[in-house]
Structure formats: structure tokens, C-alpha cells
Amino acid sequence: MKLKITIFLLLIQFSTVSNWVVAKTAPKYSNEFLSIGVGARAFAMSNATVASASGVTSVYWNPAALVTLNKSINLGLMHSEYFAGLSQYDFGAIAFKPDENSSFGISLIRFGVDNIPNTLALIDNDGNIRFDRIQSFSVADYAVTFTYARRLAIKGLSVGGNAKIIRRIGGDFASAWGFGIDLAAHYQVDKWQFGVMARDITTTINSWTFYTDNLEEVFKMTGNVIPTSSTEITLPRFIFGAARTFNFGKKWGALAEVNLDLTTDGKRNVLLKGDPFSIDPHLGVEFHYQKLIFLRAGIGNIQQEYEGGKHYTMQPNMGIGISYRGVTVDYALTDLGNLSAAGYSHVFSLTYSFDNSKGNRPKL
């Protein structure tokens, strides 16, 4: 067993070193829909939840924290809209806790734009405009994730990982398949929690196929190059988190967490820029009353801007939550720094947890 673990770690190390070598040629923001986040709680706290991840959304934020589930069956759903409702972002997951030392789950993420008009056949062979020939298509990204977590012999320490299958579709014109692996660890001691999430630790590769038979004439007329089948590489991202809880009497409490996102795909416009490493910090806080009503806020997306002089901008977020008898409803209002119809988003999520015995199921 020790030999197998050593070989596995060596393979990861070799793959990671190879990733840094190709960092300058790999595209930034590949599979970026998987970096948006899930759950209204996380959005309200500016995604500072890697250390304090709990519940079914742990399958995304920190698979190792999935062992902290209190119930044997856990369901989660989320919906949000972007760009004034033009794009839809959805998440669904189910997680199981068969015993005190292990948990597993499966989740689905979809980010898509639907009902896009296809006007390629708008003009018929006689030069007539035919609106009845317009059809619609969707551009959507999907990710199915399989998660497993287990407690270790060290008290408070657990590890976990994801195996994810990615499907990206651009109507009838292009599609891609991808596969990736995430690894994570979670440690809790007293009022402190620590977490680390290594996304795409072995790199995630998408293989694209383009269907251009009906588009060659259009490409020639517009002077564009006809795309060919290709691969897209997503380099690793490491997220480090630390959180602490505070108690104010018997009924009131709070939690504060800070996360550091370390990317390996070259210089990004974040607080700490570098090549190939950049670090993006974000902070979140959560107040609660008897763990029934929650008030949350966070700051993230700190960037340097030059319009009107050199200065820094940041994105504030806020939200609320209610939890009762295994049912939790969360809401987040994001990007408060840009209060326009297309600038901020409403995020809603619902989780439902119960034991696999009829007498323990919550009554709604």
C-alpha cells in the first residue's frame, strides 16, 4: 500500500512539474465555468469556504470535508442567472454517509446560454430572407463529478477527491470531452478549520471536435480560419483556507475565513501577480443565531485598474440563510460594486438532509 501511494504521489509531482513547463503556452481561463463556485452560502462569502465547507456542497469546495455530514442522505440544488438572465447556471448533488469515516457523492454542474438564433439559413438560394428558416441552438458546459472522502487515523484530519467528466457543447458546430481529478484535505482542531483544494491536479484536458462542413463558405467569406480538432489544457489551481469560529453567549456565533487561490497558468490581474504563479485572496464572514438564521458577507476579486488613475477594485457580496430540521435555504446577492441589471446576480440554493430511516426524516 505504501508503495502504491508513493508511486501515485510521484506521478502527481511529475505531472505538476510538466504543467509548469507548458504554462506559457496553455490558455488561461480554460474550463472557467468550474471556477465560478456553487451554493449561495459560498457566493455570499466571496467563495471563502474551502476550510469551512460543510454539507452537500463540499463535493465542490472541499471533498475531504464531506465526512462532516450529519445525516446519511444529503441533497442540494442551486440556480442563478448571469448577464440579465441570458445565461443559466445550475448545480445539483446528492451525497451519502454510510458510516462515520467515509462519504461519497455525485454532482452535476451546467452553465449554458439557450435559444441562440442560428441565422446561417436566413437567406435562401433565391436571395430571399426567410425568417421561418431560423433555428435556435444552445451553448452549454457540463461537469459530472464523483466524490469520495475518508477520515484518517489523525484526529480531525480527512482527505478526499473528485473524478470529473466534462462535456462542452457549442450547438451543432463544436463539442469537447474532458476528464480531470481534484484532491483535497481538511483538518479541524478546536475552533479552527483548515482546508486545501488542488483542482485539476493532473491537468484537465478537453479534446475538441469542430463540425464545419456547413460553415466553410461563411469562413471563407469572412476571412476567418476554419478551426480544426484540438486539445485544451486546464492547469492546476491550489486553494488554501483557514477559518475560525466565535461564540457570543449560548445563542449567537460567527465564523471568519480567508482563502488564497494560487493559479499556475501565468500572470493574472489579481492582488499578487506573478508568472507562472498568481495569488488571489478573498475573505468571508458568517453570523448566526442558534444556527437557525445566518447573515453573510464577503470581499473578493481584488484587481488593479488604471482607468482614471491607478487604483484597486474589489467585489463585495452578501446573503442570508435559514436552516431548520435538515432543510436549508440560502440566498446571495453578488457583485454589489456594479449595481446594474447585468452587473449583479441573485443566487438561490436549497439543501435537504435526512437519515435513511423513516422515523428520522424531517417533517416539513
pLDDT score recorded for residue 205: 87
| Domain 2-360 coded CATH 2.50.20 | no
Please tell me the least confidently modeled range out of 5-9, 93-97, 112-116, 348-352.
5-9
Mean local confidence (pLDDT), 310-330: 91
pLDDT at 10 > cutoff 50 = no
pLDDT digits (tens, 9 = 90+) for 38-93: 999 999 999 999 999 989 999 999 999 999 998 999 999 999 887 767 888 999 99
Domain residue limits, the chain = 2-360
pLDDT at 337 > cutoff 70 = no
Please tell me the least confidently modeled range out of 14-28, 174-188, 217-231, 327-341.
14-28
Please tell me the least confidently modeled range out of 71-85, 241-255, 274-288, 298-312.
298-312
Q: Please give, one letter per residue, the 3-state secondary structure of the chain.
A: CHHHHHHHHHHHHHHHHHHHHCCCCCCCCCCHHHHCCCCHHHHHCCCCCCCCCCCCCHHHHCHHHHHHCCCCEEEEEEEEEECCCCEEEEEEEEEEEEECCEEEEEEEEEEEEEEEEECCCCECCCCCECHHHCEEEEEEEEEEEEEEEEECCCCCEEEEEEEEEEEEEECCCEEEEEEEEEEEEEEEECCEEEEEEEECCCCEEEEEEECCCCCHHHHHHHCCCCCCCEEEEECCEEEEEEEEEEEECCCEEEEEEEEEEEECCCCCCCCECCCCCEEEEEEEEEEEECCCEEEEEEEEEEEEECCCCCEEEEEEEEEEEEEECCEEEEEEEECCCCCCCCCCEEEEEEEEEECCCHHHCCCC
Full-model pTM:
0.83
pLDDT band at residue 19 under the 50/70/90 scheme: very low
Q: Give the percent of the chain with pLDDT over 90.
A: 52
